[in-house]
Amino acid sequence: MNRTNTNIIFGEVETMKRERRPRVLVSRKIPEAGLELLRQHCSVTVGAEDGMLKREELLELIQDQDAFLSMLTDRVDGELMDVAPELKVVSNYAVGYDNIDVEEAARRGIAVTNTPGVLTEATADLAWALLMDAARRVTEGDRLNRAGQWHEWAPMFHLGKEVTGSTLGIIGFGRIGRAVAKRAAGFNMKVVVHSRTPLDPEEEKKWGVTFLSLTELLQQSDFVSIHAPYTEETHHLIGAKELAQMKSSAYLINTARGALVDEPALVEALQTGTIAGAGLDVYEDEPRLAPGLKELDNVVLAPHLGSATWETRRAMALRAAKNIVAELVGIGESTRVLG
């Protein structure tokens, strides 16, 4: 081969490398606005229209990808990174990222991003929906009505818990915890909070809350709403001991992560009347429920609906897509977790 032909071939190869669009794997279908943005800059593969990708399918599809738009249900660990040598960014379609080994990603120079802020209000709304539903036994009453078991109005029929004027305990006081606290003002509630970082007097005054230890919060609250991040330290943050510290008339609300609550202990507490009721949107082994949970009338079981509004899911899709475009193409800024 002469030098001229060699130069032409190498030139063509270099041109192809420069023109190759970044490859992005989207775990499953997301709102079209996010996909449209990605397609403007990248070659996009959507793993599944509906349903989760099986692990073996994910490991096959990820192999030549530059970016991965992952769901909370996708485990992003060393095994996945091993088969994806081109991977440069993991954009999680969620605020939380406990499904990702962020330390391993950082070690390999892989950026990890999430979608903070955009789902705050929707999740706070859902926490309140569960609180109101559990307190006033709405879903339980709906079941009675549909089964033809409501026969007449009666003074002592289907009584619930008054929300207005009660004490609300919030565990975790980040964006969502604060949004929940703001809504409590409309119900003239006393709000007490507990978080990893204590609040100073000025912050307490600003938000109209009182900072307490976890034990004090559990003992004083009529409603306990969990908004803490999930870590090794917060695994089963609420267990049998903590449930026993709550009032027997109190309700537990969880829209954060299922593993923050020891579900078998919660089932027992609900069965025995240790607490009055609960409202759950998340579960430790989703979509499976702890044995005995679905048989209970004093718990509202939502199917992980915290961010499930058209507006919020679209905003999440755009944020996740913008994170990838920023990391791969250099347009805009990403919301990095680590990397």
Please identify every residue annotated as catalytic: 257, 286, 304
- The 3-class secondary structure across the chain, one letter per residue, is CCHHHHHHHHHHHHHHHHHCCCEEEECCCCCHHHHHHHHHHCEEEECCCCCCCCHHHHHHHCCCCCEEEECCCCCECHHHHHCCCCCCEEEECCCCCCCECHHHHHHCCCEEECCCCCCHHHHHHHHHHHHHHHHHCHHHHHHHHHCCCCCCCCCCCCCCCCCCCCEEEEECCCHHHHHHHHHHHHHCCEEEEECCCCCCHHHHHHHCCEECCHHHHHHHCCEEEECCCCCCCCCCCECHHHHHHCCCCCEEEECCCHHHECHHHHHHHHHHCCCCEEEECCCCECCECCCCCCCCCCEEECCCCCCCCHHHHHHHHHHHHHHHHHHHHCCCCCCEEEC
- Give the residue from 116, 110, 23, 11 showing the smallest Cα distance to 62: 23
Residues 6+ apart with CB under 8 A from 3: none
Based on C-alpha coordinates, what's the Rg of the chain?
A: 24
